[in-house]
Structure 1
Amino acid sequence: MRIRATVAAVSGALALSALAVPAAQADDAPSFREAAAAALEADRNAPAERSAFAAAAAIGDLDVSFSGLKIAAAVKVGTTNKVSTTVTYKIKHGADVDIKSADFATGPYIYKGSYEQPVNLLLGDNPATCTATSATTATCKGKIDVYPAYDELINSDSGTWRAGALALDYATEQFSDQGALGTTKVQRISRLTVNASPEPVKKGKTITVTGKLSRANWETHKYHGYSTQKVQLQFRKKNSSTYTTVKTIKTSTTGQLKTTVKATVDGYYRYNFAGTTTTPAIKAAGDFVDVK
């Protein structure tokens, strides 16, 4: 398992890289991310302790199990800015587990690939906060924190990820880990432009509508054109609030869009991209055309 740029192999375990997060984040309890990564690595390196049902049951020697995890349907990540998404879940623990102790910590994580051999994994900077609902149950809320500027992701990481949760006891070095608690999509943020010309235009004349669909490239930290994607050209009349689809075209190999229509009435043209598993949907702001 790799945890791209967030952790590095140190003394046989995974530890937080000094370059993994900005200096402003360095004091935000990196010990949790460090310890959580080490626990997950230890779990994945001990297959003998897992059964065929490992992904559906809590693994480890700390008496904590997890359920009811909820996470956003998609985590949309650009090229540089930190992105955080909130995760809620429930825990059930043994009577000997003190969740109020300073030695106890729990948090969510998401992973790409299989539970046993994930190709990437993302954690939160800080442990989740938990509120007891009984002597042995609690509800918890934590975050997944993503730093695209620090190479935590590569482009092939986009798509569907699974969610898990873990719990740690710093004093005893016990932990519990459970995967397959939910799913989310980690997506490359999209951009879409439109320009309709000439403006103004005589009624019945041809309008050329150009634009570009691009998306975040996590490896170059820039936005590049999204090729051969279906995009709708839509129009709404000047005094209307409803867009209708005029035609559907495809982007070029560089993400460019270009088509023509006949001018009939004043109104707004825009491009509408429905999105894919790896890239979120987006609508360009309407470009007004005055028809004389």
Structure 2
Amino acid sequence: MSRRGKTVKASLAAAALTAASTVAPAAAHAEIHDAQLTSAFDRLSHDRVATFTLKAKSSDGIVDVEGAVRNPADAAPYATLSFTLVDGTNKDGTWQATLQTDVEHHPGANIAQATVRSADGSTLSPAAAFVDCFLTSVTDVGYAPKTIDIEHPDVTYQGRVMVQKYRDEPLEPAEGATVKAGNGSARTGTDGGFAFTATDPSMSVAVARQGALCGDSAPAPLTVVKQATETTARLVSVRPTAEGADVTVHGTVMRRGSAGLVPVSGLSLTVDYRQDTAGAAAAAPASGDWWPTTGADGTFDASFSVTRSGRLSIETPGTFYLTGGSVDLGRVDLSRTARISGPSFSPRGPLAYRGSLEVTGTLAGDWGPIAGAPVFLEFSTDRKTWTRATYNKTTATGGFDFFTADAHTEKDGYWRVRYAGDGLYKPLVTPPTYVDVRYGTSIGGFNASPEPVKKGKSLTVKGQLFRYMDKKLPGPGAPVSIYFQAKGSSKWAQVAVVKTASNGWFSKAFKASKDGTWMASYNGSASYLASDKPTDYVDVR
């Protein structure tokens, strides 16, 4: 079928569609149901009588069926129908009516509509269509040339249009009928013959329904030699804006004619831009000229706006005379630089073995926070091989908060935050931050006794140092500092340093001189964190 001239179908299907769209029931009631109106019409019979059959049911009984016939071209009905019950009862029956058709005055699609009334006053209006016209045939079709191209498109058609009015009568010429093919047309002569030339041809010759004639068509299959197209295009500019970027493309479409390349004018192209959506919701369609049209010289310009990076191509459609194709302009990178404020590590100093490490920060871009973005906390012992410790997504304000306490916090190492990037922002990683991991310690069983103690008598300060590795163990050979704060004073004085025994216990005797508080503290080492600082008050009398 031609791109411009479509085969004209017989008017029967069109009339049926018209009837279906214009004769919906005026009202539907439960009292009348299963109502259906059908039509039967033999266009080749001499009597040309249409018969209408109504089947309907009603629990209250149908008391009246009447009908009317109209032509969609007329405002009012041109005939009435008188229905008679021919089978069954008024509660479940069949009614019929007939109409002597008039093809000269009411040709084409006609609509019959029945009005069914039940004893309780309910009504229903089913409808049916029939087409009244003389059967038409397009015969003896010839055309030349059989092969065409864009440089030689003219085709001359010839043939005859014949009409059959009755079944037992031969075909006769249809004089004055309009025949079309593509942009060419002619009216038939007294012998039904026609001849005309189309400069924009089609693959069929058609007679539309006209007057008392039905429509018909005959194939005229042409061989079309398509010429190849060559599309060139380049990205002229990408101008970033707060919303995304304005992209401008310039190009040319040429065809390979018999004498060389020739511009293709008036051709509508398609800009195909596949936006990145990884790590973000699919981008909404952007605005702009996505369907540029070539000018007289075959050139085109397209300007459109996009919000994310993506891949750009220009699609050239295939036409009746030309092949299609596409040109890939590659990737348009609109990625901008993101930044991470922080990250901040807590605790700031050495981290306890298998302790809790919290890392916080904010991810932002050129125009504010980046929300809902995946960010990763990574760990390495040598700054070469990195493993992912945990994962999170940024909040509406771009913030992230990692909290980890696992095998990664068993050893010293480096930590960093990675943002994978998306179609709008480039990926980034923060500089490595070194975190020193040490074993935790604590002092248990701390006591200064006796209590109270007489002035000048001896008192003993003791306790046990523990270290925490995979389990709680005594801390041997470690220096523990003992402090004293006299009653009423705000200053602590270091009064002794003692080493723990193999079982972690330490002990030191002092001469009691005044009331005050005793405290013990392990100050840590390269492998161990400082301990807690338990205290004990002693009353000296």
Do both share a fold (TM > 0.5)?
Answer: yes
CA distance in 2, matches of 1:229, 1:141: 40
Q: Does 1:143 align with 2:143?
A: no
CA distance in 2, matches of 1:258, 1:235: 15
Structure 2 counterpart of 1:115, which letter? R
C-alpha distance 184-90 of structure 1, shift in aligned 2 (>3 A): farther
8 A Cα contact 1:106 1:165, kept in partner: yes
Q: TM-score, normalised by structure 1?
A: 0.56
CA distance in 2, matches of 1:227, 1:213: 8
The equivalent of 2:345 in structure 1 is 71
C-alpha distance 128-185 of structure 1, shift in aligned 2 (>3 A): farther
Q: What is the number of equivalent residue pairs in this alignment?
A: 204
C-alpha distance 260-128 of structure 1, shift in aligned 2 (>3 A): farther
SS of the aligned residue for 2:392 comes to coil
The equivalent of 1:115 in structure 2 is 383
CA distance in 2, matches of 1:166, 1:116: 15
The equivalent of 2:392 in structure 1 is 126
Q: Does 1:262 align with 2:493?
A: no
**5+ residue gaps, structure 2:** 1-335
C-alpha distance 177-272 of structure 1, shift in aligned 2 (>3 A): same
Correspondence for 2:457 among 192, 205, 213: 205
After TM superposition, the structure 1 = structure 2 runs for residues 30-179 of structure 1, keeping only pairs within 5 Å, are 68-72=342-346, 73-74=348-349, 76-77=351-352, 83-88=356-361, 99-100=370-371, 104-109=373-378, 111=379, 113-117=381-385, 123-124=389-390, 126-129=392-395, 131=397, 140-147=399-406, 154=410, 157=411, 160-168=412-420, 176=427, 178=429
After TM superposition, the structure 1 = structure 2 runs for residues 180-191 of structure 1, keeping only pairs within 5 Å, are 180-191=431-442
Structure 2 counterpart of 1:238, which letter? K
| RCO higher in structure (CA 8 A, sep ≥6) | 1
The equivalent of 1:18 in structure 2 is none
The equivalent of 1:231 in structure 2 is 480
C-alpha distance 288-182 of structure 1, shift in aligned 2 (>3 A): same
Structure 1 counterpart of 2:390, which letter? G
CA distance in 2, matches of 1:253, 1:89: 49
Once superposed, what is the RMSD of the aligned Cα atoms? 3.7
CA distance in 2, matches of 1:122, 1:258: 47
SS of the aligned residue for 2:400 comes to strand
8 A Cα contact 2:451 2:539, kept in partner: yes
SS of the aligned residue for 1:123 comes to strand
**5+ residue gaps, structure 1:** 1-61, 133-139
8 A Cα contact 2:376 2:391, kept in partner: no
* Structure with greater proportional helix content: 1
8 A Cα contact 1:68 1:90, kept in partner: no
C-alpha distance 275-199 of structure 1, shift in aligned 2 (>3 A): same
CA distance in 1, matches of 2:462, 2:388: 38
CA distance in 1, matches of 2:500, 2:385: 36
SS of the aligned residue for 1:291 comes to coil
8 A Cα contact 1:69 1:181, kept in partner: no
| Shift in Å, 1:268 | 1.1
8 A Cα contact 1:107 1:142, kept in partner: no
SS of the aligned residue for 1:126 comes to strand
Identity percentage over the alignment?
Answer: 21
The equivalent of 1:196 in structure 2 is 448
8 A Cα contact 1:206 1:262, kept in partner: yes
Structure 2 counterpart of 1:144, which letter? F
8 A Cα contact 1:74 1:186, kept in partner: no
| Shift in Å, 1:66 | 5.3
| Shift in Å, 1:123 | 2.5
The equivalent of 2:142 in structure 1 is none
Q: Does 1:214 align with 2:466?
A: yes
Structure 2 counterpart of 1:250, which letter? K
